Amino acid sequence: MYRVAVIKGDGIGPEVVDSAIRVVNSVTDRIRFYEFEGGFEVFKRIGSPISEDDLKEIRKMDAILFGATTTPFNVPGYRSLIVTLRKELDLYANLRIIPDLSNGKEIVIVRENTEGLYARDGIGFSDRAIDFRIITLEGARRIAKFAINLAKERNSFITFVHKANVLKGDRFFREIVLEIAEREGVEVREAIIDSFMIKLVKNPWDHGVILTENMFGDIISDLATIHAGSIGIVPSGNYGDEIALFEPIHGSAPDIAGKGIANPIGAILSAAMMLDYLGLNGKVVWEATRRYVRYGNLTPDMGGTATTSEVTKGIISEIYSFD
Ligand code: ATP
Ligand code: MG
């Protein structure tokens, strides 16, 4: 039996996570879900977005399924739940898959999530401010290994995106990536971040597994999202050495919360990534979703008139139609 922590969160979070759980339960009976509370409401009560006791329990789980939480603007001392979990659980690899569900193509982005420009606070003086961009041997190695293993699994190659012609950190990172890739027999193509952004707009689908550091990954992964039919279909995983957290990339979408029309596909595909991580059958969920999208009524963000529940049921009946 696998143990999965569930944090549904705010807005449409609970609606889409319930869909994802229904889909998982239609694929396997080897997962038990444990629900935890977290986010801004918890912060208002206890001054932290999640309690110490809950965090301790969550550490013992095999994976986490996450919905979405609101991050209020400008609340002193508030660190969002997702940022807290990434830090506490050392979830260093952020994997975002942007699918074109009509033809099976994907943009696959691996972003380093613990180093680079965001790892440390900068320092400000009266006449200047300095930020630090940190790339360590250990940090570069673990993310390179993660991406290279993924490329292997997918029979694909790496596109390593950097600015090594200018930045020392990227030259350091590049050496490590090239060395591990050679040892593992994985092809590495290289791209400079600025010109790569143009490629990503014009020809997004043929870059294998895109690997990059934290800030470049932040920008690339948001830009790439424009190629998904809707923000509501994009899944992601945050992986550490002990545990991984899976979440759709969309936010809590307060404008449509409670209406029953949220697109559940991002959460469902996040659950598919979780199944793959646990060694269970995520592929069947991807395939069922692609099939459903081909003929099924979709939610309004994709031009349809379906409810969250109708799309979920449609995908589940596709799953039952496999044997
Ligand atoms: P938050 O503050 O939680 O990040 P947000 O409104 O800034 O929320 P999103 O929740 O990502 O950001 O929403 C951006 C837009 O996309 C909104 O109009 C929202 O309704 C829409 N949207 C996001 N997720 C979905 C979804 N799963 N299904 C349908 N529409 C969605
Ligand atoms: Mg947002």
> Which atom from ligand 1 is nearest to the alpha carbon of 267?
27
pLDDT of residue 79: 85
Say which residue the tokens 């918890």 belong to: 42
Amino acid at 289: T
- The residue assigned the tokens 């592929």 is 283
Instruction: Looking at the structure, give the CATH architecture of the domain made up of residues 95-229.
Output: 3-Layer(aba) Sandwich (3.40)
**Quick count: other Cβ atoms within 10 Å of Cβ 218?**
17
pLDDT digits (tens, 9 = 90+) for 58-112: 999 999 999 998 888 888 888 889 989 999 999 999 999 999 999 989 999 999 9
Which of the following is catalytic: 62, 163, 199, 276?
Answer: 163
Whose alpha carbon is nearest atom 21 of ligand 1?
Answer: 253
The number of the ligand 1 atom at minimal distance from the alpha carbon of 262 is 28
Q: Look at residue 40 in the predicted model and tell me its pLDDT.
A: 87
The pTM assigned to this predicted structure is 0.96
Q: Are strands 158-162 and 2-9 parallel, antiparallel or unpaired?
A: unpaired
The residue with greater pLDDT, 310 or 118, is 310
Q: Do domains 1-89+242-323 and 95-229 have the same CATH topology?
A: yes
- Tokens at 279, concatenated: 């060694």
267 lines ligand 1 (CB under 6 A): no
62 a catalytic residue: no
Of ligand 1's listed atoms, the one at least distance from the Cα of 264 is: 27
Per-residue pLDDT for 323 more than 80? no
Least confident of 70-74, 169-173, 207-211, 311-315: 70-74
pLDDT tens-digit series, residues 121-161: 899 999 999 999 999 999 999 999 999 999 999 999 999 99
Is residue 53 annotated as part of the catalytic site, yes or no? no
Does 266 sit in the ligand 1 pocket, CB within 6 Å? yes
Distance 250 CA to ligand 1 centre (A): 5
Mutation test of ligand 1: which of 66, 250, 255, 311 has the most ligand atoms closer than 8 Å to its C-beta? 250
Any idea where the domains of the chain sit in the sequence? Answer: 1-89+242-323, 95-229
What does pLDDT average to over the chain? 96
Candidates 44, 222, 241, 283; catalytic one: 222
Q: 70: Cβ below 6 Å to ligand 1?
A: yes
**% of residues, the chain, pLDDT over 70:** 100
Q: Residues 6 or more apart from 284 whose CB is under 8 A from it?
A: 27, 319, 322
Q: Which atom of ligand 1 is nearest to the CA of 233?
A: 27
Please state the atom number of ligand 1 nearest to the C-alpha of residue 254: 6
Confidence at residue 49, expressed as pLDDT on a 0 to 100 scale: 93
Those residues whose beta carbon sits under 5 angstroms from the ion ligand 2 are 251
Active site residue 194: yes
In whole angstroms, give the CA distance from residue 180 to residue 186. 9
Active site residue 255: no
- Does residue 73 line the site of ligand 1, with CB under 6 A? no
Q: For atom 15 of ligand 1, which residue has the closest CA?
A: 253
Q: What's the pLDDT score for residue 41?
A: 85
CB 23 within 8 A of CB 269: no
> Among all ligands shown, which has an atom nearest to the Cα of 72?
1
- Please write the tens of the pLDDT for every residue from 206-261: 999 999 999 999 999 999 999 998 999 999 999 999 999 999 999 999 999 999 99
**145 annotated active-site:** no
pLDDT digits (tens, 9 = 90+) for 238-251: 999 999 999 999 99
d(CA 41, CA 9): 10
Is CATH 3.40.718.10 the right assignment for the domain spanning 1-89+242-323?
Answer: yes
Is the shortest distance between the CB of 310 and ligand 1 below 6 Å? no
* Residue 19 pLDDT: 98
Which is catalytic among the residues 78, 118, 239, 277?
A: 118
CA 177/CA 267 separation, integer angstroms: 31
pLDDT, residue 77, reads 83
pLDDT score for 126: 98
The whole-number pLDDT of residue 70 equals 85
What pLDDT, on the 0 to 100 scale, is given for residue 73?
Answer: 81
